Each structure stands twice: as C-alpha cells, then as structure tokens.
Amino acid sequence: MAVSGSVKTALQVAEVLEAIVSRCVGPEGRQVLCTKPTGEVLLSRDGGRLLEALHLDHPIARIIVACVSSHLKKTGDGAKTFIIFLCHLLRGLHSITEKEKALILENTQTFERRWKNCCQWKCISQALLTFQTQILDCIMDQYLSRHFLSIFSASAKERTLCRSALELLLEAYFCGRVGRNNHKFISQLMCDYFFKCMTSKSGMEVFELVDDCFLELNINVTGLPVSESRIVDGLLLHRDFSVYCPADGDIRVAIVREIIQPVFSTSRSEFVVNSEAQFQASQIWIMERTKSVMKHLLNQNVKLLLSSVKQPDLVMYYARLNGISVVDCLSSEEVSVIQRIIGFTPLVLPQASLQCEISDTALVKFCKPFILRCKRYVHLGLISTCTFIPHCIILCGPVQGLVEQHENALYGAFKMLRQLFKDFDLNYVKKDNNQNDTLSPPIYKNCGKSNQLPKSYTQSIQRPYQDTGIKSNDELEETQYLKVHSNLVVSNVELETYTPCSPPKVTPTDAVHTDETWRCLPLENDRVIDDYELLIESNSISNSIIDNTRIEISYENFQIIDTAKKGSMLPVKYRSLDMCTSQSFCSSSIPAGCVLPVGGSFEILLHYYLLNYAKKCQQLEEIISKLIADALLGIPKILYKSKKGNHSFPQIYLRALHTLQTNQPMVRSQTGLESVTGKYHLLTSVLQCLTKILTIDLVINIKRHPQKNSDQDSDDELQH
Amino acid sequence: MLSRLEAKKPSLCHSEPLTAEKVRATLCVLKGILTSCYGPSGRLKQLHNSTGGSVCTTSQSAVLLRNLSVTHPILKILTASVQNHVSCFSDCGLFTAILCCNLIENVQKTDLTATTTIKLNTHLLNFCTSYLRSEACGCRIPVDFSNTQILLCLVRSILTSKPACMLTRKEIDHVSILILRAFLLIIPGNTEDPIILGKSIIVPLKGQRVTDSTVLPGVLIEMSEAQFMRVLPVRKSSPLKVALFSTSLSGDFSDLGEGCMVVSDGVSLENAVLDQLINLGRQLVSDHVDLVLCQKVIHPSLKQFLTLHHIVTIDRVGVMLMEPLSKVTGTQPIGSLGSVSPGSYGSVKDWCSAKFGWKHFFHLIPNEATVCSLLLCNRNDTAWDELKLTCQTALHALQLTIKEPWVLLGGGCTETHLAACIRHKIYKEPGSILQDDGCTQAELQLIAEAFCSALESLAGSLEHDGGETLTDMKYGHFWTIQAGPPSVVNWTDLLSRCGCGVYNSQEELSWSFLKSTCHPFVPQACLPHETEEIRPQSTHSLTLDCLTAKLSGLKVAVETANLILDLAYVIEDKN
C-alpha cells in the first residue's frame, strides 16, 4: 500500500495531534493520564511523553514524533508548541496550494501534476531551509535581540544570576509542566535547590553533574502530600546501612568495589587443597586478613565504608567490632555521583602489605540514617571538592505517577537552564563592508536604505526613548549608561536587559556629555544636527573602547536611529550606521541568559518583524516569511483562548502591534519569562521537520518483519 | 524474538474522562463500597476469589483496596493514592478515599472549569490545615503523656472503628490496654535526643480467646514441643551470657570464590569445617556462654557438643528477629567462625520457656531494653489478621502522637466542625480565602458548598442504620438519632452525646439536619480539656483520631481529587 505524502494528509495528522496537545498547553493546560501496558498509571503534561504514549501508527505521525523527540533531547522543552506550530504551518501551506490548485487547469495528467507538485514542494522545502539557516538568524540578531532581557544582572564585573528573574523563568516553565495547583511550589523548590547547590564559582559543570546524576539526587516518596517535598543538605543514598555505628568527629569515608574478604580462588584460578590442615589454615588466614584490613581502615580513621558489592558476614562482623559503618550494594551510578562530588577514586586494597597510608579517603561532615515514611536511607554530609554543593530533593506526592511527573519536570528544567546558560552562536556573520556579500537580503542593507521602506517599517526600528529615555538619562550619571531600555517592562521585578559581560567603559565625561545632549534635545530641527554630531562622537568613543560586542552595537545603532527619527535626518543615520557596522565584524550570537516574557511575546515579535521583512522580498521568500509569521501566531492564539475581553488574543495582538509601531512600552498581562534559545531551537526544529515532511512524496508500507541485522531505529524508516 | 519486534498497537485516547457515564458509575460503586465500611457500625466485606484461596472478611481500606482489582485508570489513581497514604500513616484510609470521591462528585455538579475548582479547593484546603494546626482550633485536644486517658481513648477509637476484628466491649478494653502498654515499653528510659523507639513484635496465636492476649518485655521465640522439652531450666547467676550468630554454623562453604577448588584424594573438607566448628564451640564453652542463638542453622554435632556443656542452643531464628535480639541482648551478631571477640557477647537477665495456648515459646527477659512482644490472640485467621493490622495501626498512631502531641475529635465531629468553620469564613470574610486569584465570590460559594457538603456527607456516612444525622448550632459537632419508632414526639430526646462524646444533649443546644442548609454560625471552640476537668468521666468515652494521619489524609484527598478533576485525557496503552 502506498500513500502519497501530501500536505493534506500531513495536515490531517497534525490537526489530530494539535487537538490533543492544545488542551495541555500553557498555564491553563490540563493533565493527561497515561496507562502503561504493565498497568502503571502515569500523569503527564509533557508533550513528548504524551506523543510517545499514543503509539501512533500513521507514518507521517511517526516522523513528527521522531522529530519532536529529537528536539526534546536537545532542549527538554517545547513539544506541545512544536505540534501547534507545525500544524499552523501545514495549514498555511495547504491554503496556499488550494488557492493555486484553482488556477491550475484541470486537464493536466495526474502523473504530471504529481511531478509538478513534488517540484513545488521541493522548492518550498528548499526555501524553508534557506529561511531557517540564513534569514531567521539574521532577523533574530538584527531585530529581536533588542527586546531580549537577561536573567543575569550585570552590576558587578562578573555576571550574577538574578534570583527573581530565575523565579519568573522557572515559574513559567513549570506552568506548562506540572499541575496547576503545584507549579508554584515546584518552581520554588527548584529555585531553592538551584541556589543551594551553586557556589559563586559554579558554572556549566554543575548542570552537567545534575543532568547526569539526576536520579541519584532525588528521592521519591509516595503517600505524602506534595507540599511535604523538600530539600535536604547532603546526599541521600537509596538504601540503608548494613552496619551502623554512630560516630562523630572526624569521619572519613572509603569506597570499595570488591569484596574485602579474600576468597579461596578467583576466576580462572585453582585452589588446591592438599590437606585438611591447609584448608583450615587458609580459612584462618582469610579471617585474619579481613580483620587486619578492617583494623587498618580504622587506623586511617575510616568510619564509613561504601561498597558497590555485597560484603559477606565476616566483613560486617569486623566492621561492627571496629565501629565502622557499612553501606553495601550501592549502584554504580550512586558510586559515581559520590566520586564526582568528593573527587576520589575507589580504594584498591593493597595485596601485600597494609602498612601504606590510604590516600583515597575523604572527610564527611556526618553520616546518619534518614527515615522517610518508614523507609531508611543513608544520609551523607559530603564535603564537595567541586563547585557543586550536594543537596537532595525529596519529592512527595500521593501517587507515583505524580511524583514522576514532578521529577521529569525538574529534570527538564535543568536541561532548559543548561542550554540557557550557554551562548548560542547564530549562523549569521556580520561582515558588512564587503558589498558583495552573498547572504540573501541582508538586513542592515535595508536599514541603510530605510528611506525607501514603508513608514511602519521605519518606525519599527525606532525606540521608545521619548518614554524611557528620560528615565535612563537620570540614571546615566551614577551608573552605567545601559539600563532598562527595552520596551517590555516586566511587572513587579525590575529586570535589567542584557548587557555584555564586560561592561562598557565609557569615560564619565563622555557620558555626561551625551546626557546633556539628550536633555537639551530640542524640538526645532535646526539644532538637531549639532546634537547628532555630539552623539556620533560619543558613539565613536564608546565603540572604540568596547570590544565590538554585538549587542552593544545594535544599541548604539538604535540610539542613532531613534534620534534620527526625531529630526528626520537620514544622512546622519546613514553615517552612523556605517560607522557601527564597520566596527562590528564578529559573528553574532544569542548570549547566555537571554529571555523574553511569556505569553507569546517571542511569537508576536517575530511575527511582526517577519511581516516587515516579507514586504521587501521576492515572491517565494515573501510567501515563506508570511507563512511562518502567520503560523507563529497560532501559539499565542491558543494561550489566550480562554481569556475574554481585554485579555483575548485579538486585543493582545493589536495592542502589541500598536506598541511596536508607536514604540510604547508593552504592557503585559502575565509575568514569567522564557528562554530565547529554547524558542529559537523550537523554530528551527519545526522548520526542519516540515522540510522533512515536504520532501517525501510517497509512503510505502512494507508488510514484513524488520530484518534482524537492521538498525534499532529502522522501524521508522521502513514505513516510508 | 519475533514477538518483541511486533509493531505496537496504537493507544486509546479518551477526552474528558470524568464526563463519561461509565466512569461516573464505577466511581459511584467504589464510593458505595467504601462508605458502607466506614466507622464502628460499618458493614463488613467478604473478599474471596472464585478460583480458590482464602476468604477474608474486612472493613479496612488497606485490605479492601489491596484485594479489589480496579481497571479504570482514574480509579487506579484514586486507590493508589489511598493505599500510599495508608502505607505511610496506617490510619484514615477510608476517610481519605470517601472524601476524595465526595469531592469529585460534588464539584462535578457545580459545572465550573477545572482551573477554578482546583484553585479554590486548594485555598479551602489551606484554610483547613492552617485552622487545624492553629491554637484557635476547636476540634483538637493536646495529648498529655503523663496521663494515659487520652492515649487510651485514641487506641480504643481505632479498635472500635474496625468491626471486622469481632471484639466485644470488654475485649476492646483489654486489647487497648495491651497496645498502650506495648507502646510504653518501647519508649527508651533515657531521654536522649533523638528518641529512638524500640520495637514491639506481634506474635500470632490464633484460635485462643482475645482476652488471653498479653504483652511481655523481651523477645518470644517460638519452638517445637521437642525443643521445648530439651531446654533445661539451668539456674545460674544472672546475667546470662549470650552469643548471637548471623553466619551459618552448619559447616557449609558459602564464599569460595569464582575459581575452581581442587581437593586432593582423602581430604575431607567436611571434617575440616567440623573441626573448626568444634573449636568454636570450645571457645564458647571457655568463655562461659550460656545461650547460643543462630540466625541460620547450627550443625547437629556442634549442637550436641554445646548441649553437653549445658549451653542452650536455638537456631533458625530468622532475619526478622535478628535486630530485636541484638537489641535485647546487647550483642553484636557474630559473622565469624574463627575467634570470637569477647566484646560481641551480650547478656539477658533471665530466660524461661513458656506455653501460651498450644504454642511453646522461649522467652528472653532483658535487663533493660525497648523491645517487647505482643502476644495477640483471636478466634480465627481472618479476624486475627484484621486485629493484627488494627494493632499495628494503633501503635503507629501512638508513635505519630509523639511527634505531634495532639489528637482530633473523632466520630464525625471534626468534619462537621470544619464545615461550619468554612461556611462561617465564606459568609464573613470571603476575601481572605479568595486572595485575588481571579475567582469570583459566587464561584467560591459554590465550591465551598461542595467542599463542606463533602465533609458533612463523610461524617454522615458513619451512620448506616437509617438514622438521622444532625449538627448542633453551637459547636458544630456531629449527632445522630437512631432510627427507631416514630412514636416519640420530641426527637431531641433521642440525642444523648455527640459523635466524639465531648458534649451531651443536656446543654442548651439547637440542632439542624445535615442535609438541610442552615445559617452560618461561629462554631465555638470550647476546648474539651477544660470541660474534662468538669466532667472527668466523659473523657473515658471520647472518640479520638490521630491528627497527623487525618491531616495528611485530608491533604491527600484534596490533592487527589484535584488531580482527577484536572484530567483532560486518558491515554490507554493497549499493548
């Protein structure tokens, strides 16, 4: 059986998925109960898990699910948005083709038509790819970047994480992940955990450690209300002491991976018994040896022995006699967590003598039993040698399914943060002075020729300095001159917008100078030119001092444009642009910690800039840009579906457009932040998925068992 | 292999599962089963498998839910959360389950969106928990550990609420005292911090009268009659020296390693090991050990040898008794066949052999230890199982009161009192609960009504015999009238005491039927410990509940109800 792969079928599949997913998306989303074939019951709002649980049969659906899961592996977020966005893209494509089909004469042969179709799809998918790799990055960098906020406050020399910003970010994340009554609690828990585990020097390695060892760092307890969840200092091992001897003072810990008691013969060796006396002697030797090993450990002040294997009774006995606590049967993962935290290797017992000093021991603050709902755990106060301060999360919930959901959400949040804390390089290099750049319509060229652009477009670049400018001017004198200059004012919390890691060193006199210029900025046109010259001067100074950081330049850029608008002095603007771009010769990137407010602001912003971009494009590009821009709106549409009146989507959208056009600060109904990089990845993943779907023309169903020598993932491939 | 490669069947996806008629019906059936078991006059359920196996009679949620096989995922969530609660707190399982069912049922009638109901339910729950934890709470009593009266009431209430134990009033009193004594025996004498409680071992003795049950300090080890005859009443000066072996003394080789062992001709390893065992025996004799206990098996020759030297040997003790034995005797379990360090011996004050019913026991009497044995008798197997579970529940509840030294009024009074408090709060100052969450007052009123009636019908389900359920308008306590001859003119004459037994009808009270709506009133928090001084005899018959268990049950019930109400889809994997 062969099914022609068309947009129509793909759309049908995507619409079904969208219908399911859209009920779980956003803060109003609801839970889904999944049962496993084993009878276990699982609760989830995680899109990826949901799609997996459906065990979809349709080949196109399986492509989509595969794309989603590969996206999730990368970012840990956005499965539901993925489906919604993809569905809207397909819907858009479908309506375009429907329109064109009406134009195509009916008398063409079927085969020909299909051939034509395929060519067309290929064209479109190629255009999508170009868009994704070139134009998208360009727009992100040129326009969107100015709206970015950062979760770091750049007050000191080094960037520090702003707690309130992180709280907002996590709250928004958990809003879509866990039940409505728990998301605040869980996000608070995560935030606490994060700040408890981090030191000032902590960096990516903490994320890596938590990411790798997440299962070992949390304990699940069922039967208690969720609100009993908490964080405990130190590490909890998922088992009880085999021997527990209370000890205080200096407690040293040693890890072993083998049985301490010697055995008669190891594998592939023989033990020859010649006489009964010999056998008895060897048994006695084994006992004495075990005894002396344990004595030796005690002499080295080892009070706690961690073992990855089960230790025999004899070892336990001597441990107890010597007052050494023993925890055995530890999983290799637990052992590796301990090793990573305290940074030493398991003890290898010396074969010959026991005189040597054992170097592979570490100090622990305490080791004691920890009782949680009648089950006993080992509680270790490890002293960390890395930047991770060990803490454990105890996750409680009435049922296992709910606890697992929270666990997965926490895990996903760490993945999301891990990505957020990395700079992300865009595939877009700013090399402006070369006039022969091959990149398709470069934005800055358009900037330069903005006098030819429609009015709305010019306005879009302009900044609301009428409003916020004054405020920042006041602050200029005492602080850096970069302060809140985004038009997105986050309620409750004052977020500082992104500033580069190295704060710009503008000489005070210059700053004051600029400041004054701003203040005496007259409305009369005749004095404007002087002001601009002053401004440019200051710009050139600052530009030469700062290390060509991209964001910085775009800031300068916009400042000039902004003033240019007031005086409508295009030549000045042109010059300033040239000057800026000539100095910025580095590749662009989304810096670490970039966030945008939740509630579709990323989508609306990108939608707006894409529409502007589309106005000056060729035919196919224009179609693609418009298509993507319209599809982007699908997500906020669903988010605001239940809202009425002033908070309904059309209202929000119109207001947003209005504020973008008139450069007023945006008023937002929701608090919360989301990662820009995550959104960006989502967009690219969806576009890649779409191109994948579009390039398929025929789905061939093979009714045969997959070959044994084929790959594990061949399941999917055989279907198409 | 081929079957593993078979393509997976697509799952079934139901949207809005709670609206399905089938789900409602099954929920209703489950609720019916649970409600009918609730309370002292609850009906018993007989569970049996048509293909065989034992029949069990119960009214406890732990047994009931363990044996019921529910298939619908929503019911699975509900039962799993109740079972998890019970495994944490032992008590208040039916309370949790019925409240959860009531809440789901009542909230569904309101037709509000899931978001609103969940938000408001959470607010109401927070109000309840903070009220129950606050000083102003009118339905909790502080536990006075210098006086056993309250603790005894708590134990008796738990025993009374499990009718499947088949106990008479006298038997209940007897067992309550035993349980309380067992609890007091495991509390260590020295008050170091943290308090480590000992262990009470429940020893089964089925087929005897309940009043034959008893509590003994120390450990009872069951033995056969033949062994029993052999144990000589050695009279020696106390204390008696004890050795406890955790390793096998049977002469087997357990850890020889992974390689081969080549034994030359004529060499007998058995003899070698036996020699070693006898050597060990000699050491024990020379160390003047009086009693040898072994978790595993003792070689007959060694046994013989030790008996010859007037050492009592008991083997196959089992791993369960190892920890209590080591605690009672103060020994360290010996894991070596070689030389035994003198420090690992322990001692007991005395031992004796005792015969209870048809069973023979070896009784170790400790010098001072926090281990006791509760010898529990009941007439038949299923009643004994029920009684054992009840005793464990009671012991657990007593332990929980150490952490939180409060008890709640039982017999439905806490529920009706809470409902009255919520009603009053909503009436007086709804804003304090709303907390500008985007919910309207009307919505709050609807949900609060659903919440309160869930609590009240929970209290009402204590009554199974067709009687009327009422609440008084002063304290908000729960009252019942037995269904009797309608000839009585004044039905208030039929009321004697409220559910928990704190108030009697002598006071100037006015009542209202639970199902009818009444005007909100301020439930008075006349603390019962004040009244206790006035009427000391009344404390004798108080019905009390464990605060920790009930509070957690309340939270779990509301959380689970919220969870189930939040479900948009059920995806069933059909593989």
Q: Which CATH architecture describes the domain A235-263+277-389?
A: 3-Layer(bba) Sandwich (3.50)
Mind telling me how many Å the CA of A241 is from chain B's nearest CA?
A: 13
- Listed in sequence order, the DSSP H helices in A381-500 are 400-420, 443-448, 455-461, 470-476
Q: Which residue did the predictor score with more confidence, B146 or A516?
A: B146
Quick one: B292 exposed, middle or buried, by C-beta within 10 A (0-12, 13-18, 19+)? buried
- Residue scoring higher pLDDT (A57 or B486): A57
**DSSP letter string over A112-163?**
HHHHHHHHHHHHHHHHHHHIIIIIHHHHHHHTGGGG-EESEE-SSSS-EE-H
pLDDT of A316 > 70? The answer is yes
Whether residues B305 and B441 share a domain: the answer is: no
CA distance B466 to chain A (A): 34
Per-domain residue ranges for chain A? 2-104+119-149+594-700, 235-263+277-389
Q: Which of A395-409, A590-604, B40-54, B322-336 has the lowest mean pLDDT?
A: A590-604
CA-nearest of B137, B175, B201, B161 to B414 is: B137
Q: Do A225 and B77 touch (CB under 8 A)?
A: no
What's chain B's average pLDDT?
87
Size of the A and B interface in Cβ pairs below 8 Å: 234
CATH number at residue B234: 3.50.7.10
ipTM of the complex in this document = 0.89
Residue A346 contacts residue A360 (beta carbons within 8 Å): yes
Evaluate whether B538 touches A1 at the Cβ level (below 8 Å). Answer: no
Q: Which two tokens stand for residue A652?
A: 């929000």
DSSP helix/strand/coil, A388: strand
Contact B267 A30 (CB under 8 A): no
Q: Which residue of A has its CA nearest to B555?
A: A225
Q: Does B10 touch chain A (CB under 8 A)?
A: yes
| Mean pLDDT of the residues in chain A | 72
**Residue B554 and residue B463 share a domain:** yes
Touching A: B residues 20-79, CB under 8 Å: 73-74, 76-77
Structural domains counted in chain B? 3
One domain, residues B133 and B148: no
Q: Are residues B359 and B400 in the same domain?
A: no
Using an 8 Å CB-CB cutoff, list chain A residues near B122: 181
**pLDDT for the residue A241:** 92
Q: Which residues pair with B359 in a beta bridge?
A: B356
CA-nearest residue to A267 within chain B is B259
In the block, which residue shows the tokens 């170790």? B364
- Choose the closest CB to A33 out of B73, B88, B341: B73
CB contact under 8 A, A264 and B87: no
Q: Which residues of B touch A43 (CB under 8 A)?
A: 77, 563
A276:B86 CB<8 A: no
Question: Are the Cβ atoms of A54 and B563 closer than 8 angstroms?
Answer: no
The closest alpha carbon to A610, from A462, A485, A432, A443, belongs to A443
Report the Cα–Cα distance between both ends of chain B, in Å, rounded.
Answer: 16
Are residue B351 and residue B430 in the same domain, yes or no? no
Q: Are residues B455 and B318 in the same domain?
A: no
For residue A323, list its beta bridge partners.
none
Work out the minimum CA distance from B5 to partner chain A, whole angstroms: 7
Fold type of domain A2-104+119-149+594-700: GROEL; domain 1 (1.10.560)
Least confident range from A19-33, A205-219, A620-634, B4-18: namely B4-18
On whether both B170 and B250 belong to a single domain, the answer is no
Considering the domain boundaries, does residue B153 fall inside one? yes
Q: Is residue B104 part of a domain?
A: yes
Shortest Cα–Cα distance, A311 to chain B (Å) = 11
Q: Give residue-wise pLDDT tens across range A518-573.
A: 333 333 333 333 333 333 333 433 333 333 333 333 333 333 333 333 333 333 23
Residue-by-residue DSSP string for B78-97: HHHHHHHHHHHHSS-HHHHH
Contacts (Cβ under 8 Å, ≥6 apart) of B146: none
Smallest Cβ–Cβ distance between A227 and the set B11, B259, B555 belongs to: B555
Q: Is the backbone peptide bond immediately before B194 cis, with ω within 30 degrees of 0? A: yes
Element (H, E) at B124: helix B114-133
Contact residues, chain B, for A48 at CB < 8 Å: none
Q: What is the DSSP letter of B340?
A: P
Question: Does B28 share its domain with B132?
Answer: yes
Q: Report the pLDDT value the prediction gives residue A432, as an integer from 0 to 100.
A: 44
pLDDT in tens, A433-471: 433 333 333 333 333 333 333 333 333 333 333 333 333
Q: Are residues B111 and B50 in the same domain?
A: yes
Q: Which residues contact A199 (CB under 8 A, 6 or more apart)?
A: A387, A389
Q: Do A23 and B10 touch (CB under 8 A)?
A: no
Query: Which pLDDT tens digit goes with each residue over A336-345?
Result: 888 888 887 7
Of B119, B568, B573, the CB nearest to A24: B568
- Chain B's closest residue to A269, CA to CA, is B259
Residue to test with chain B: of A181, A274, A318, most B Cβ within 10 A:
A181
Are residues B435 and B443 in contact, defined by beta-carbon separation less than 8 angstroms?
Answer: no
> Are B77 and A33 an interchain contact pair (Cβ–Cβ within 8 Å)?
yes
Residues of chain B with pLDDT under 50: 1-3, 528-536
**Interchain CB contact of B393 with A (< 8 Å):** no
Query: Do B148 and B104 fall into the same domain?
Result: no
Q: Which of B11, B246, B336 is opposite residue A55, by nearest beta carbon?
A: B11
* Token code pair at residue B280: 């060990």
Q: What is the pLDDT of residue B148?
A: 86
B134-138 long-range contacts, CB within 8 A, separation 24+: B136/B525, B137/B525, B138/B417, B138/B421, B138/B475, B138/B476, B138/B523, B138/B524, B138/B525, B138/B526, B138/B527
Distance between CA atoms of residues A388 and A205, nearest Å: 8
Q: Does the beta carbon of B319 lie under 8 angstroms from any beta carbon of chain A?
A: no
Asked if A271 lies within 8 A of B10 by C-beta distance, the reply is no
Q: Which helix (H) or strand (E) holds A44?
A: strand A41-44
Q: How far is A35 from chain B (nearest CA, A)?
A: 5
- The first and second tokens of residue A662, run together, are 């008139």
* Overall average pLDDT of the A604-618 stretch: 85
**Region A570-584 average pLDDT:** 33
C-alpha span between A686 and A679 (Å, rounded): 11
pLDDT at B294: 93
Query: Does a structural domain hold residue B4?
Result: no
Q: Which domain holds residue B61?
A: 12-139+409-572
Instruction: Tell me what percent of chain A is helix, strand and coil, each rounded to the nearest 5.
Output: 55, 15, 35
CATH code assigned at B49: 1.10.560.10
Q: Which of B8, B257, B336 sits opposite A263 (nearest CB)?
A: B257
Residues of chain A with Cβ-Cβ distance to B15 below 8 Å are: 20, 23
- Token pair 């040293």 is found at A252
Does one domain contain both B417 and B485? yes
Q: Do B185 and B116 share a domain, yes or no? A: no
